[in-house]
Amino acid sequence: MLNDTSYKAFFLIPPEVQLLDFAGPAHLFYEANEYGASITTHYLSLSQTKEEVTCTGVSLGNLDSYSSHELGLHDLLFIPGLESHLFLAEGYTDEIAEFLEWLNRQNQNGARICSVCTGAYLVAFSGLLDHKNCTTHWKYLEDFQNRFPSTKLLSDRLIVKDGTLYSSAGVSSGIDLALFILEELFGPVFATKIAKAVVIYLRRTESDPQLSVFLQYRNHMDNRVHQVQDALAQNLGRKVKIEELAENVHMSPRNLTRLFKKVTGITVGLYLEKLRVERAIQLLTSGSKVSTVSNACGLRSSNQLRSLLKKHTRSLPSKWQV
């Protein structure tokens, strides 16, 4: 039986807001309401107008002024990201001083404050993140830490919760944060039902890193190494020899080994292990049998899979540590 408490989810809409930052979480709360949860959504303008324009040029109207609402224990406030030229501009905090005072008051009232992506800057400007754990988009980690040295910035976390303050890494992670909160409010079965309803393949949690290993180690310009990385990712179910990989990019195995380490910072073997570990976690999380996962990851046995997971246990979510 669902928690019958009524909740309100408020979404701040600043100028040049990142569209998916609020639209993704808002849709999940809409679905949750359709599935029986008592939760409604409301949209607030930061600039005291009834209309804002997103970073993509879409106009949003019929917004309430943030100052017309006082939030309480059963309310959530999502603060999405906005374009950096706004929040990095000199004097920006003076422009939003009244909002920052209002935000502190809502925190004192017990409302959950949830930032998505660079929305963490607005929360940090208010002082609420001083000596608190938080995260933001990986591109702004260094700047954020320099501007707010008293925050406890966690650099490789997708979602961070500290009391009633929540933060998420960026854009699509707002969807993960909304699911995380739905699980807190209504339980894991309900949250899984909502994830299935909106066709989210894999739910990510507090323990997950911001960047998938399938995206990491790709920040280089060598097309030959990119081809090798693609080949490894697309053929996890079978053993691919270094000779085959080298031949495909017209190199010797020795030169490929050296080049791969030079441009990615890790060896071919370690990269393949990381791919297998992440794929294994995805499959195990979705309910696949250990034997099936072993085959899908190109491993000879379930024992070999367990050994691989143990080797990388420090990088795994706690429920998969073995």
User: Which residue segments constitute the domains of the chain, with CATH numbers given?
Assistant: 7-197 (3.40.50.880), 223-320 (1.10.10.60)
Percent of the chain residues topping a pLDDT of 70: 90
pLDDT at 238: 87
Pick from 83, 321, 315: which is nearest to 211 by CA? Answer: 315
Confidence of residue 214 (pLDDT cuts 50, 70, 90): low
Whole-number Å distance between alpha carbons of 50 and 81: 19
| Partners of 41 in beta bridges | 9
pLDDT at 306: 85
Whole-number Å distance between alpha carbons of 123 and 93: 11
For residues 200, 206, 208, 210, the Cα torsion angle rounded to the nearest 10 degrees is 90
pLDDT at 158: 81
pLDDT: is 50 or 81 the higher one?
81
pTM (predicted TM-score) = 0.67
Pick from 314, 233, 322, 311: which is nearest to 284 by CA? Answer: 322
The 10s digit of each residue's pLDDT in 58-110 is: 888 889 999 999 999 999 999 999 999 999 999 999 999 999 999 999 999 99
Query: 63: which DSSP letter?
Result: P
pLDDT at 37: 93
> Please, are residues 34 and 2 in contact by the beta-carbon 8 Å criterion?
no
> Please, are residues 194 and 182 in contact by the beta-carbon 8 Å criterion?
yes
Give the list of residues 6+ apart from residue 172 with CB closer than 8 angstroms, or none: 20, 24
The 10s digit of each residue's pLDDT in 174-184 is: 888 998 899 88
Whole-number Å distance between alpha carbons of 13 and 43: 7
Q: What's the burial of 124, exposed, middle or buried (CB within 10 Å: 0-12/13-18/19+)?
A: buried
Pick from 319, 293, 315: which is nearest to 306 by CA? Answer: 293
Size of the chain, expressed as the number of residues it contains? 322
Confidence of residue 304 (pLDDT cuts 50, 70, 90): confident
Whole-number Å distance between alpha carbons of 180 and 135: 15
What number is the average pLDDT over the span 280-286? 79
- Write 143-152 long-range contacts (CB < 8 A, 24+): 143/88, 144/120, 147/121, 148/124, 151/124
pLDDT of 266 over the 90 cut:
yes
Confidence of residue 301 (pLDDT cuts 50, 70, 90): confident
